[in-house]
Structure 1
Amino acid sequence: MPANNILTIQSLVSTGYVGNNAAMMAIQLHGFDPIMLPTVMLSAHTGHKAFYGEAISAELFAKLLRGIKEIDILVDTKYLLSGYIATADLVELSAAFIATLKRDDHHYVYLYDPVFGDMRTDGLYVPKEVADLSVSALLPLSDVLTPNHFELEYILQREVRTIAALQEAVQAHPLLSTRSVIMTTAELADTPADQVEVILLKDNNVKRFRSKKVHADIVGTGDLFASIITAQLNMGRELETAIGISMELISKAMDYVKDSRFSEINAKSLLKFRHLLEA
């Protein structure tokens, strides 16, 4: 039986589907309940012309962690997911919390989505010291990770542009070689320009997944991808199946958003293709 809850540590916005907003929708579409810990609260995502808000204080975050532990809701939780965390205090608190959970109960599975940089934004969008702390504190706790191409290169501290170089670099890394690594939005030398590529590296094996590239500037797809993967795993699906389902749903949702002239992914675009989650 799958656990009923999934813990998700990410951003929270008043409107839109990024961070915990995307995770909440994806998790609920699978019939599970999200336990949401916000790392930042904004009026809208940062792609809007105006947005306001701030990072959650360490004091408030610690109170939320304490409250969740004291009502025993984590007893019916297996999967832990983290995304955008932009302050060192919250990285440290998240790492300590996850480490304690995994130490006390080995059934927990942690999916680490780095969310600290992107090739489209020319690098890091959190302070370097926070990105480095994220890698040193959260990566060692992970079982599965979903970095984009930039983030994986940042973790590896080297450029990878071929599948052979990618596999060699991951296998040589003392932590990545023992985990399931899902590189999203791969931009290898042979990645077709009209395709979105995701690469799974697991147990010294490589599997490549591709879907049609939708030419639209839509934010939140990485958060949605990691959330669907987590919920699919909670259902008992294999990683390969989860990746295929997530890519298909996001591709179709983006097509629908573009054709409908919406500005971004919304509830209607996700509900329309909910049936794919049960495929």
Structure 2
Amino acid sequence: MNILSIQSHVAYGHAGNSSAIFPLQRMGLEVWPVHTVMFSNHTGHGAWRGPVIAADTVRDVITGIEERGVLPNCNAVLSGYMGSADIGDVILEAVDKVKTANPEAIYCCDPVIGDYGRGVFVREGIPEFFRDNVITHADILTPNQFELELLTGQAVTDLDSALSAAHALRETGAEIILVTSLERENTDPTKIEMMAVSREGAWLVETPKLVFPIPLNGSGDATTALFLAHYLKHRNVRSALEHIAGAIYALFETTWRAESRELMLIAAQDFLVSPPKTFTAVSVSDIR
């Protein structure tokens, strides 16, 4: 299987494509990476160097891939952080090209906008561009809880409100919503949840919450990549949710034990494919 991944890239550490490509490859998928920025390191460090790639340059790279005649063999387009609305337009153009060449291809979008504690950290206009343009084209959306609230305009505090917001996103056209982090009121503060919602049902999975001195950058990129890889191979939302719960927890645990500021993707590479711990996803209908 082949994935066209259009995201930011960093030379040091892991974020954007440098957090997504390796997990996809370890899961056995071929990746065609197109970078939207080329930074020395992720912006969580507070200082970085390197260029934002012009939208026309990104478009030109994608056109070059198209000219190889390989788009009919592309199984999915993956996107994450967008540096500008112009880049968003290029990504949507690429999605249209891929789906025209292969109607079975899917678009998986991680709507990177912000998070609790940091607020919105993208350029002005990007949240609105995701809300008004991108999410209506996606087959899979993977917001965190903060982004879920922002995209739907709904507060998420408990299971009912989380489901309501996820279904509101599905009504925009996405088949599958993966909420990559969920912390509900009156739940165990030492745990963190993820939730997946599709037309087949809704599931929650819970893992221990590891507390880091500084929030890890790139974890959402790896989570989305692993979910997409597993889903493409097995077409089972619940199984994909359980896989990423085990894989990402193992990645976090490896990083936490190493006291690393960067995700330890290489050290945890075997766990990405075969997680050492299993976390069972529970049907929401069994909880309510």
Matched residue SS, 2:202: strand
- Counterpart for residue 83 of structure 2: 86
- Please say if residues 246 and 275 of structure 2, whose CA atoms lie closer than 8 Å, have aligned partners that are also in contact: no
Compare 73-82 and 169-178 and name the one that shifted more: 169-178
Q: Secondary structure at the match of 1:140?
A: coil
Give the alignment of 1:49-64 within 5 angstroms.
49-64=46-61
Match of 1:242 among 228, 234, 240: 240
Instruction: Name the structure 1 match of 2:282.
Output: none
The change in CA–CA distance for 1:176 and 1:257 in structure 2 (over 3 A counts) is same
Deviations 1:120-153 (A, max 9, x none): 31x2111231221122221111111100011111
Q: Aligned equivalents of 1:48 and 1:173: distance in 2?
A: 32
Give the whole-Å Cα distance in 2 for the aligned partners of 1:197 and 1:18: 22
Structure 1 pair 274/164, CA: closer, same or farther in 2 (3 Å)?
closer
Which range moves more in the overlay, 220-229 or 99-108? 99-108
Which residue of the partner structure matches residue 186 of structure 1?
182
Could you tell me which residue of structure 2 aligns to residue 158 of structure 1?
154
User: For 2:41 and 2:93, how far apart are their aligned partners in 1?
Assistant: 29
Shift of 1:204: 7.3
Does the alignment pair 1:253 with 2:270? no
1:148-187 deviations in Å (ceiling 9; x for gaps): 0111111111212121123234435573475211111112
Q: Alpha carbons of 1:120 and 1:176: their partners in 2 closer, same or farther (altered >3 Å)? A: farther
Aligned counterpart, 2:163: 167
* Residues 104-115 of structure 1 mapped to structure 2, 5 A cutoff: 104-115=101-112
Corresponding residue for residue 149 of structure 1:
145
Pair 1:188–1:177, CA change in 2 (3 A) = farther
Partner of 2:194: 198
Whole-angstrom distance in 2 between the partners of 1:268 and 1:173: 34
Q: Which portions of structure 1, spanning 4 or more consecutive aligned residues, are displaced by more than 6 angstroms? A: none
Structure 1: how far apart are the matches of 2:28 and 2:268?
Answer: 14
Q: Give the equivalent residue in structure 2 for 1:33.
A: 30
- Is the Cα–Cα contact under 8 Å of residues 16 and 218 in structure 2 kept in the other structure? yes
Contact residue 170 and residue 176 of structure 1 kept, 8 A: no
Q: In the TM superposition, what is the alpha-carbon distance from 1:266 to its structure 2 partner?
A: 2.7
TM (norm. structure 2) is 0.88
In the alignment, the residues of structure 2 paired with residue 178 and residue 271 of structure 1 have an alpha-carbon distance, to the nearest angstrom, of: 30
Distance in 2 between residues matched to 1:201 and 1:128, nearest whole Å: 29
Q: Rate the CA distance shift 1:174–1:76 in 2: closer, same or farther, 3 A.
A: closer
Q: Which amino acid aligns with 2:61?
A: L
Change (3 A) 1:68 1:210: same
Partner of 1:11: 8
Structure 1 residues 194 and 56, CA, compared in 2 at 3 Å: closer, same or farther? same
Aligned letter for 2:236? Answer: E
Q: Is the 8 A contact 1:41 1:54 kept in 2?
A: yes
Instruction: Look up the equivalent residue of 2:81 and give its one-letter code.
Output: Y
Residues in 2 aligned to 1:241 and 1:174: alpha-carbon distance in whole angstroms: 20
User: 1:58 offset after TM fit, Å?
Assistant: 1.5
Structure 2: unaligned runs, 5 residues or longer: 279-288
Say what the alpha-carbon RMSD is for the aligned residues.
2.1
Q: Counterpart of 1:198 in 2: which secondary structure? A: strand
Judge which range, 9-18 or 229-238, deviates more: 229-238
Q: How far did residue 189 of structure 1 move?
A: 1.2
* Structure 1: gaps spanning 5 or more residues: none
* CA distance in 1: counterparts of 2:160 and 2:260, whole angstroms: 39
Question: In structure 2, do the counterparts of structure 1 residues 50 and 200 end up closer, same or farther at CA, with 3 Å as the change threshold?
Answer: same
1:15 is displaced (CA, Å) by: 1.2
- The TM-score normalised by the length of structure 1 is 0.91
Letter in structure 1 aligned against 2:146 = F
Between 53-62 and 170-179, report the one with greater CA deviation. Answer: 170-179
Alignment check: 8 A CA contact 1:181 1:201 kept:
yes
Whole-angstrom CA distance in 2 between matches of 1:237 and 1:174? 18
Query: Greater CA deviation, 100-109 or 66-75?
Result: 100-109
